[in-house]
Amino acid sequence: MRRAALALAIIALVTLPYWIGGSYYINIASQILIWAVFALGLNVLVGYGGLVSLGHAGLFGTAGYAAAWLVAAGVGQLASGVGAIGLTVLMSALFAVLALRATGIGFLMITLALGQILWGIAYRWISLTNGDNGINVSARPMPLGLSLATPSAFYIATLMVFGLAVAAMASFVASPFGACLRGTRDQARRMTALGYDVWLIRFLAFLFSGFWTGIAGLLFCYYDQFVSPHLLTLSSSAEVLLMVISGGSGTLLGPIAGATLVVAMKTVASAYIERWNLVLGAIFVAIIMLMPEGLVPGSQRLWRWARRGRDLAAAATSR
């Protein structure tokens, strides 16, 4: 049953360019996948580590800007991609060293401040970042000589990266390291007593999260072929956090569902109204008030509850 559903989902995703109709929708699907990779990366910290970061847009943007600079400087596509990811992981290490001095609200405030610094650099350090005008990326890379210029080719490439991200997350969750991270979330003191280095576990988790955030940033930079300070704003950080929380943090499917929901809402909302931030804020508030555990666990709970109700009703009538 589970396997069949998985196979169906894979077939549907791979053949999506053929049935969805129109490059506009293919591009939206690519966006959803990119944001899903980003949300999966953030979910490592938020869901499994219990560390809520509001500065991840800074890391996302770091990857984008780094790739744009390196490409503009004439470095080859592969080298600039690797360089951008390397730089993002380094930046994540810096973030982690500073932010992991605290947990909980303190962690959130420090990451927020760090994210704002990076935004400030992107916005104000004009000789380096071209300020509000952003940087254009002349061409998408051509891995193995294949062109990614068309929406469907780019979609397939993004889908492959997305698949890798999901596989990486699944094995991470199942690994002893994933179990350690969940342990530090639930019982940090007990983990210390058991001899685990809680700080190191969190630090490595931050790097892992930063790595996938960087991958997502890189994909987005290739997708848009343009980077601007807008990528690094607090509202980007909030958006991706909303994806994680609305879908269900600490689950594998949650961030993917959240990314689908938020990108779809954003696309639909911006077609009809200009007020995306209003909608974003309203969903945020509604989710926190009504379904704090997120859509995926929330609907599972509703499903179980409905099934139990039906079973009880069946038992009552059979008696």
Partner 1 sequence: MSQWVVLAVNSFSFGGLLFLLSAGFSLIFGLMRIPNLTHGSLFMLGAYIGVTGLRLGLDFWSAALLSGLAMAALGGVIERFLLRRLQGQELPQVLMTLGLSFIIADLCLMEWTGDPISVSTPGALRGVVPLLGFVFPIYRLAIVLIAVVIAAALWLMLDWTRLGAMIRAGVDDAPIARVMGVPVSRLFTTVFCLGAGLAGFAGMLGAPILSVYPGLDAEMLPLALIVVILGGSGSLLGALVGSFVVGVLYNFGPALFPELAYVVLFLPMLLVLVLRPQGLFGRQSL
Our CB check for partner 1 shows the closer of 53 and 80 to be 53
C-alpha to C-alpha distance for 42 and 236, rounded to whole angstroms: 12
Looking only at residues 54 through 73 of this chain, which bind partner 1 when binding is defined by CB under 8 A?
A: 54
Binding partner 1 by CB under 8 A: which of 277, 308, 310, 314? Answer: 277
Q: Does 245 bind partner 1 (CB under 8 A)?
A: yes
C-alpha to C-alpha distance for 106 and 55, rounded to whole angstroms: 13
Our CB check for partner 1 shows the closer of 106 and 143 to be 106
Select the span of 63-71, 162-170, 198-206, 287-295 touching partner 1 (CB under 8 A).
Answer: 287-295
| CA proximity to 39, closest of 280, 216, 286, 291 | 216
C-alpha to C-alpha distance for 54 and 222, rounded to whole angstroms: 24
C-alpha to C-alpha distance for 164 and 162, rounded to whole angstroms: 5
Q: Does 289 bind partner 1 (CB under 8 A)?
A: yes
Report the nearest approach of partner 1 to the CB of residue 284 (Å). Answer: 3
- In angstroms, how far is CA 279 from the centroid of its own chain? 20
Report the nearest approach of partner 1 to the CB of residue 13 (Å). Answer: 30
| CA proximity to 98, closest of 82, 74, 81, 115 | 115
- Per-residue contact track with partner 1, 128 to 157, x per CB under 8 A? x-----------------------------
Q: Does 295 bind partner 1 (CB under 8 A)?
A: no
Would you list the DSSP string of 5-49?
HHHHHHHHHHTHHHHS-SHHHHHHHHHHHHHHHHHHHHHIIIIIS
Binding partner 1 by CB under 8 A: which of 37, 52, 205, 263? Answer: 52
Select the span of 25-33, 146-154, 221-229, 282-290 touching partner 1 (CB under 8 A).
Answer: 282-290
294: Cα within 13 Å, side-chain hemisphere: 26
Q: Does 235 bind partner 1 (CB under 8 A)?
A: yes
The alpha carbon torsion through 129, 133, 138, 144 (nearest 10 deg) reads: 60
Q: Does 120 bind partner 1 (CB under 8 A)?
A: yes
C-alpha to C-alpha distance for 29 and 33, rounded to whole angstroms: 6
Binding partner 1 by CB under 8 A: which of 29, 57, 110, 201? Answer: 110
Binding site for partner 1 (CB under 8 A): 52, 54, 98, 101-102, 104-106, 108-110, 112-114, 116-117, 119-121, 123-128, 233-235, 238, 241, 245, 275, 277-278, 280-285, 288-289, 292
